[in-house]
Structure 1
Amino acid sequence: MRADADDTSDSANVLARALLPWSVTVMLFGLSAAGNAEGNPPAAGQPGPLKGTWTRVTEHADFSPRDTAEDVVFDGKLWISNAYHAGNVLVRDLWCSKDGAKWEEVLDETPYDGYSELVVYDGSLWAIKGSVWRSADGVHWTQVAGKTPFGARGYGEVVVHDGKLWQLGSGTDVWWTTDGINWTCALQDAPFGKRYGSAVAAFGGKLWLMGGAVEKASDPPEKHYKAYTTYNDVWCSADGTNWTRVLEHAPWAERMWFVAKVYANRLWIISGFSNRQSINYADAWYTEDGATWHECLPKPAWSPRHEPTCYVFDNSLWVVAGNSWPLMNDVWRLNAAEAP
């Protein structure tokens, strides 16, 4: 999803869109910060800060500049699928790379729904949104189901948890399946409400949902999309039905259109868009328990952006493309290790 700096279009229409070889290095350190804890977060000792470097793998990848592209690691490769181009143009391509530097176009026209979530499950590559598709090689695709119960509404995320495929983050409901055909609604009305642009992950035996926006104006209204309010809360669930708010206010700022990944045995959030300030973020935070967060400092050398495509691959955390006003097609990687 693109939020232009001078965008004054109707926020409901914008947010409802069906989804959306030289190096620069910078040292990375960790600082801890705790938010407003709720429930009973783990009391175990916090991990030591991480250290490492961000390296720019390429300034311009072979695929076009884009945001809202879907990511997956499959068959020893990075895969990037579909693209949002300026003017709400959907590009339905699929690319892969063995090293993040050289990319090969696999398909110029994918058969699955635009902005389908990509996930590896049961040894295959899956594309899930309003319909469900499956592939053994990324080239040849078979439709598994012509329709999903949650449909093609925007911003839903699909993750693997407890041996099942889970879909959440596009409404108040939470769904799971083991075959892509038969879906079970684990929860109809989640306590976090109907979120847009949240970060979702499976980590530590739980599902996690963080931040995002709801269609409700703040007082005073937030700067960019005035009909929406953004959050920096943290929720988790072991079963998809019973949810606990671990933090009402995490130390990272309210945001939408950001990414969650699991790397170095920690849960990370990366970049995003501040609706309150109408700016993009260039930051990365990590946690071991969801309650205490460490910001990686100094901040990454990549430009502030929302809707990047992120991976965990080859012992690194990758940040690819996204919208920095303009759209980007750069590739960055982080190699992190425990500080001595």
Structure 2
Amino acid sequence: MKLPVNRRDVLTFLAGAGTTAIIGGVGAEFIHDPDWIEVTPDEDQFEIRDSARGFIYQDKLWLCGGYMVGNVPRRDLLSSDDGINWTMVNPSTPFAAYSPITAHEGKMVATYPTVMTSVDGVMWQEHECTGDLPPLGSEKPILSFNGKLVLLTDKGNFILAGNTWKRVSSPFENRLAFRSVVHGGRIIVVGGALKIPNKVPERGYDKMTSLNEVWASDDPENPKSWERLAANAEWRDRMWPGFVSHEGWLYIIGGYVNQIGENVGNIWRSKDGGMWERVPTKHRPPARHAPTVFSHSGKIILLAGNTNAGTSVQNDIWIMYI
């Protein structure tokens, strides 16, 4: 369902759907059953893509790079106050496409192929780093955690303190297409796939074994700190899901189920990553993998991703109030 992005129209829709809206001086608090609303403006806000990096910096949402069909990379950087209206900040960033990027200690930090920082997204400074340099490549989540940067890779975890990298082993090496967030003082890792064939070859990528595990650590520099919270979570194994920590809950959204070679659009949530429950909604975005997901101002914002249909990669925008 696509709606106008006018705030009053959104409130009217929610009220008509049986939703109670309590309007405060600076915004609205919604008390209702979770549901998705499409708020894609009529005028495109950014080019179609999947696997774009999303982070929050200086109270703004930031969207960086991504993939286009035909392996055409995006290298732009955009910002938004509300997740709906986006402004181009830098059409051609100086770091590689798909570079891990996040906010850390008052700056934006990108790490591929070298570490670069910026305070505005326009001017970037390169930093020479030493130690166990991480492997080059994309699809590597990076998190700001306890004053350090943690880069999660299939070759181990790489911790950046100052300008020095340190490699530590992890229980989920040899794994791709997983997602991670910081939640409750721990790093949480979900899903993905091992780079080995399953006993029964999976229908999608036949040389991969997809997973529905959940791992957590409060000290990623200590390999023994990782705890497997779920070996076989309630949701089906999947690659490239949307994953976000939102108001005390973990949400996993959609993803690619390699065993059947299809995207899914269901939503699951958990307080701690151990036990999961499905979140029913009346409406939902088309099933997809590799979307960008934010938690912002009391709502979950999902945008872009790959639906494997039509143009495949998308630039639509959806919000869910919870």
Same fold (TM over 0.5): yes
Kept in 2: contact 1:283–1:299 (CA 8 A)? no
C-alpha distance in 2 between matches for 1:153 and 1:146: 17
Number of the residue aligned with 1:89: 72
Number of the residue aligned with 2:50: 67
1:54-133 equivalences in 2 (<5 Å): 54-58=36-40, 61-133=44-116
Number of the residue aligned with 1:4: none
Q: How many pairs are equivalent? A: 293
C-alpha distance in 2 between matches for 1:204 and 1:245: 16
CA offset digits 1:105-158 (Å, max 9, x no partner): 111110112111221111111112331111111111111236871132232111
Number of the residue aligned with 1:322: 305
Alignment partner of 1:160 is 2:144: yes
Deviation at 1:172, TM superposition (A): 3.6
Number of the residue aligned with 2:186: 206
Number of the residue aligned with 1:13: none
The verdict on how the C-alpha distance between 1:225 and 1:309 changes in structure 2, with shifts beyond 3 A counting, is same
Deviation at 1:75, TM superposition (A): 2.1
CA offset digits 1:279-336 (Å, max 9, x no partner): 1111221111111112110365210001001111122111000011221101111111
C-alpha distance in 1 between matches for 2:185 and 2:59: 25
Residue from 239, 258, 279 that aligns with 1:256: 239
Residue from 294, 298, 302 that aligns with 2:285: 302
Q: Does 101-110 or 138-147 show the bigger shift?
A: 138-147
| Counterpart AA for 1:327 | V
CA offset digits 1:70-129 (Å, max 9, x no partner): 111122222111121111011211111222232211111101121112211111111123
Number of the residue aligned with 1:222: 202
The verdict on how the C-alpha distance between 1:246 and 1:101 changes in structure 2, with shifts beyond 3 A counting, is closer
Kept in 2: contact 1:223–1:275 (CA 8 A)? yes
C-alpha distance in 2 between matches for 1:260 and 1:100: 16
Number of the residue aligned with 1:52: 34
Residue from 213, 225, 235 that aligns with 2:215: 235
Match of 2:276, SS state, is strand
TM-score norm. by structure 1 comes to 0.80
Consecutive unaligned residues in structure 1, runs of 5 or more: 1-20, 29-48
| Counterpart AA for 1:138 | G
Consecutive unaligned residues in structure 2, runs of 5 or more: 19-30
| Counterpart AA for 2:315 | N
* Aligned-residue RMSD, C-alpha: 2.3
CA offset digits 1:219-276 (Å, max 9, x no partner): 2100011111100011111211221111110010100111321101112212211111
Residue from 192, 195, 203 that aligns with 2:172: 192
Match of 2:279, SS state, is strand
TM-score norm. by structure 2 comes to 0.84
| Counterpart AA for 1:333 | I
The verdict on how the C-alpha distance between 1:149 and 1:259 changes in structure 2, with shifts beyond 3 A counting, is farther
Higher relative contact order (CA 8 A, sep 6+): 1
Match of 1:297, SS state, is coil
Match of 2:125, SS state, is strand
The verdict on how the C-alpha distance between 1:111 and 1:210 changes in structure 2, with shifts beyond 3 A counting, is same
Kept in 1: contact 2:154–2:172 (CA 8 A)? no
Match of 2:233, SS state, is coil
Number of the residue aligned with 1:332: 318
C-alpha distance in 1 between matches for 2:175 and 2:287: 23
Match of 1:129, SS state, is coil
Match of 2:191, SS state, is strand
Deviation at 1:197, TM superposition (A): 0.5
Alignment partner of 1:151 is 2:107: no
Q: Stretches of 4+ moved more than 6 A in 1? A: 23-28
The verdict on how the C-alpha distance between 1:246 and 1:73 changes in structure 2, with shifts beyond 3 A counting, is same
